[in-house]
Chain A
Amino acid sequence: MYHLVLGYVGLVMSVWVCDSKVMWRVGQIGGLLLVVPALGLMNLNLFISGVSGAMTSDFMSVALTVLSIWLLPLMLVASQQHMVNEAKFYQRVFIGCQVFLTGGLVLAFLASDLLLFYIAFESTLLPTLMLITRWGAQKERYQAGTYFMFFTMVGSLPLLVCLLGQYQLSGSLALDLMFVGVSKGEYIINFWWLGCVVAFLVKLPLYGTHLWLPKAHVEAPIAGSMVLAGVLLKLGGYGMIRVSYLWGSSALVSGEVILALALWGMISMGAICLRQTDLKSLIAYSSVGHMALVVGGVMTGTAWGYNGAMILMIAHGLVSSCLFSLANSWYERGHTRNLIGSRGLIMLFPLIGFSWLISSLMNLALPPAINLFGELVAMVAVYNWSVYSVAFMSLGAVLTAGYSLYMYGMSQWGNVMKGYKNLYIITSREYLLGLLHLMPAIYLIFYLGLMF
């Protein structure tokens, strides 16, 4: 698995040294080529499909690794247009930043040691911060960057402390070991456990710690939004599954509080989304709503919950990234994210409307999309925990459908606002972008076994 990480090191270097005419192509094609060795990690028969040195891959890490590797070329394809006017040097830095970010993500997903995971986890912060504050669109990007940085840091420092303490107790931070030396049933264990998961809860984010997310998503350039919604949030989910594996169900009492919070978050995020006027902000808030079910699934501590959370994360990674890229392709033309200003787009761009439709429908978990399957499986897990939770979850599903179709209807239907001049047509680059997002999502419907 070192070859993957080395691949990213090589890719950063080649982007750095290559001729400035081809650097985008080098990044895109190189990123796409790296999907091949990642697919090679998939071994469906084994729980742990590969071990090498400090790296282990099992079914969870492979799925998310492939997702993050897959999204790198898409990010580069998506941001080609708005970087045209930048100086060549900054374009180079931009590409390098994203390649580095993806390399960090791959390292985080494949790490077999929690400390390595932690380091890789933190290493993704800086490139993301650069993406947001350097290439964001408005002045608010500085605040968004600060929020992003501080929320994540405040959450992840307790994790470091807990990990070091654990290392002292057990002498190892290998993922395959259960945490030993912690006598279960002690009161303090709840806090220790909380210290472990709070970093991930902020990252995911759980309702209440989500404040950074809408700001970061809205202010980030398209590549930043895509990677944030697509993979960075999943880092939280992945870490939480790992940590709850280790802890078992020993800390379920505080887990229940978090579960209840997530259930409430699902509904309140749906209600917020119904009132959004900003296209990107709507998609960002909908991510929080979807991730709430991931939290729910993981917090039940059951195999069904983990499975559901995994499927949901993969599905949401593809779909919300697609929605962001679609919103961006309109933003590059209309220069507005406002829903009132972006009405009747299907009249202007009929074919891309199809991508809008498919991704909105997947976002609301229309069967047979994998989103639905993930939701159902996670719902079963949470339903097992408490029967009454089904009321919250299904109400959340109603609201999800409501705002997804509200978004679709508002942006695609109605009359085009007067005053738009010189809207150039959708390029084949953007069709390709939609296709590359939706194809895996549709493919996975037929091969759902890939994610179990």
Chain B
Amino acid sequence: MVGMCGMLGLVSLLIMGIFLFDKTKENLAQAIKYSGFMNLLLLTLMVVSEENEMLLMKWEWVKLGGYSLSISFRYDMYTCSFFVVALYVTWNILIFSFYYMSTDPRVDLFCKYLGLFLIAMLLLVSAEGFFQLLIGWEGVGIMSYLLISWWYARSDANTAALQAIFYNRIGDIGLVIMLVWSLMNTSDWTFTSLYALDMFNVFLVVGVVLAAMGKSAQLGLHPWLPAAMEGPTPVSSLLHSSTMVVAGVFLLIRFSPIILMNSYAQAGVFLLGTMTTLFSAICALAQNDMKKVVAYSTASQLGLMVTAVGVGVPQLAFLHICMHAFFKAMLFMCSGGYIHGLQNEQDIRKMGGFLFATPITSSCLFIGSAALMGTPFLAGFFSKDPIIEAINISNMNSWAIGLVLVATSFTAVYSFRLMFMGVGSASRMFTLQPMNEEYNNLVGPLQRLCYGSIVAGVVFIYFLIPYQVSILSLPFTLKLAAIMVTAVGGLVSWDVVKLLHTSEGTVNVNYLSFEAQVGFYSHIMHKIMPKVWMTLGENYQMQMIDRGWAELTLPQGFGQNYKLLADNINQTQTALVKMYIAIMMLILMMMLMLIALS
């Protein structure tokens, strides 16, 4: 029964694939919607029947000696939940992009790209074999490349797209290491045989973590995520918040049984996550671009998910992926609505007072931010609070635990700042803006995602519970730590806003340049790394070796030397008979001498 329903998941993928060729974008949206509900049915059945995982459809792709590589799908709780969430969110974002991209002549193609992206993402999540994982992994990367640079005549967008692909590819070094290692050590390149191997390997784990760093924009490989905000808002909403960027975390979750075997690996992942979450939260504090604030908060939440994997609760990390998808997609949609209303103005200093102009969007922004902060009984609470609780009771580095708590409070600071600058306060926008939210394609998706942000947590916590036994006796302060630091953050944000935006006279904001310039990371790295490679390419490889040593010693050098030789021999060819006879005599004499000597 459940196996039959598992086929439903495949069928839904197939249906979407077919509808990609459909002429009208509305049909694609419908297909995604119904696929989502089909998968909801599947999820329900899995929950009811308490079946944990199943493998489906083994199609042997190629046989290489003793190896056989096949395409097969892995349906477990993760896959099913993610299918439901991703399809639901994508459906809404597709509808939203009808509104947002309505004046774009290529809107149909845009929707197809989104659909193709979704299929790649679902392939990734449902992959059992690593090759299929790789198809999905690279597929989402390339789709993000194409979508970031959707407005391709802008050179900023081109650069951002190339930047995304470069950082992703650096992460893919890790994936290649993982693939090569597992191709050698497992017989059929699947998760099943990797789990069965039950072996910790440094190469494998370093590779997986590196891959996750690239895709999930962890500290060090993070700058592409904010830069990707050059893309249209639906792209930011779907790819760079709710689905694609969590692929790295998802990879870590899939590999968590192996990572958690070794305490050093675990601690490494944990520290990576904590640093990312804090760094991104700090950066979000001082951004003035509305999309950038939300982007950095995404990066911060990704850091939190990685932290959760590191602390040993991958189920909660996954739960946070699902919850995060709802409210982060919604936050981006809200900012998309504002940006449209303000005629492409993204600066929050020129917003304000939207509460009266666009009540629905503004309340959605409020609910989304509240869910993001972990306000009790909204979606974010059910994932964020247990994660922080698990971190608090873990025996990890207490300094790192402190960093997570600080980052959590910063979430409140930047969320409140965003709400104050956007929704609250007095209007600072230019007059006569076409501020309007009377579009079904804007309000509908917002409302649907808003319902999701409110109730999804209650539903999902029912079946996505950690395997570990939870500690029931927890000190009062630790239990309430997350909420308390968030409340403190809310209070602090009042001061931040007062300092930055409402105080009279000039304020010395030099000490904010670290935050505003995002840690100077891209200023340094984006100067050094291209310079290294470009110098290597042009000055050393091209000018010095290819056009220098190699050319001058081999072809040109031989040519010059033969020319010299020929010139010298030429000297003897004087066309004077006396000269020839003299040379002949000389040679004859030498030969005679040789004969005489020998």
- A-side residues, CB < 8 A to B, are 146-147, 150-151, 208, 211, 214, 268-275, 303-304, 307, 344, 346-347, 357, 361, 366-368, 372-373, 376-377, 379-380, 383-384, 387, 390-391, 393-395, 397-399, 401-402, 405-406, 409, 412-415, 448-449, 452
Contact = CB atoms under 8 A, between A and B. Distances in A.
Contacts of A347: 153
Contacts of B137: 367
Number of chain B interface residues as a range: 35 or more
Contact of A390 (B61, B138, B145, B180): B180
Contacts of B537: 268, 270-275
Given A208-B550, A409-B162, A383 B169 contact: no
A379 to B, nearest CB: 5
A333 to B, nearest CB: 20
Given A394-B177, A452-B62, 10 more contacts: A211-B555, A274-B533, A367-B135, A368-B131, A393-B176, A398-B173, A401-B166, A405-B145, A405-B162, A415-B153
Contacts of A409: 149, 158, 161-162
Contacts of B177: 390, 394
A366 B155 contact: no
A211 B173 contact: no
A449 B169 CA distance: 28
Contacts of B551: 211
Contact of A346 (B61, B139, B152, B183): B152
Contacts of B155: 414
Contacts of A402: 162, 165-166, 169
Contact of A275 (B172, B180, B534, B555): B534
A377 B64 contact: yes
B555 A147 contact: yes
Interface in B526-556: 533-534, 536-538, 541-542, 545-546, 550-551, 554-555
The 6 closest A-B pairs by CB, nearest first: A271-B537, A394-B173, A413-B152, A275-B537, A448-B62, A275-B538
Interface of B: 61-65, 131, 134-135, 137-139, 142, 145-146, 149, 152-153, 155, 158, 161-162, 165-166, 169-170, 172-173, 176-177, 179-181, 183-184, 203, 533-534, 536-538, 541-542, 545-546, 550-551, 554-555
A155 to B, nearest CB: 12
Query: Chain A CB within 10 Å — which of B179, B181, B533, B550 has the most?
Result: B533
B231 to A, nearest CB: 13
Given A367-B131, A367-B138, A449-B62, A271 B536 contact: yes
B351 to A, nearest CB: 31
Contacts of A415: 153
Given A150-B555, A307-B64, A397-B172, A344 B162 contact: no
Nearest to B179: A376
Given A150-B555, A303-B65, A390-B177, A268 B162 contact: no
Nearest to A398: B169
Given A272-B541, A401-B169, A344 B64 contact: no
Nearest to B135: A367
A368 B161 CA distance: 21
A211 B546 contact: yes
A173 B260 CA distance: 58
5 contacts: A272-B546, A380-B184, A397-B173, A397-B176, A449-B62
* Interface of A: prevailing SS: helix
A305 to B, nearest CB: 12
A347 B153 CA distance: 9
B149 A394 contact: no
Nearest to B133: A367
Given A303-B65, A367-B131, A448-B61, A272 B173 contact: no
A413 B149 contact: yes
A144 to B, nearest CB: 11
B244 to A, nearest CB: 16
Nearest to A445: B61
A268 B62 CA distance: 33
A268 B549 CA distance: 15
Contacts of A361: 142
A383 B180 contact: yes
A393 B173 CA distance: 9
A17 to B, nearest CB: 40
A105 B48 CA distance: 65
Query: Chain B CB within 10 Å — which of A270, A304, A367 has the most?
Result: A367
Contacts of A390: 176-177, 180
B162 A406 contact: yes
B135 to A, nearest CB: 4
Contacts of A398: 166, 169-170, 172-173
A373 B130 CA distance: 12
A282 to B, nearest CB: 11
A415 B152 CA distance: 8
Contacts of B172: 394, 397-398, 401
Contacts of B152: 344, 346, 412-414
A409 B156 CA distance: 12
B166 A452 contact: no
Nearest to A406: B162
A401 B153 contact: no
Nearest to B151: A413
Contacts of A304: 64-65
A366 B162 contact: no
B541 A380 contact: no
Contacts of A406: 162
Nearest to A307: B64
A146 B559 CA distance: 11
A395 B173 contact: yes
Contacts of A366: 138-139, 142
A405 B431 CA distance: 42
A260 to B, nearest CB: 16
B173 A414 contact: no
B180 A401 contact: no
A310 B509 CA distance: 61
A269 B176 CA distance: 20
Given A208-B550, A413-B158, A383 B184 contact: yes
Nearest to A449: B62
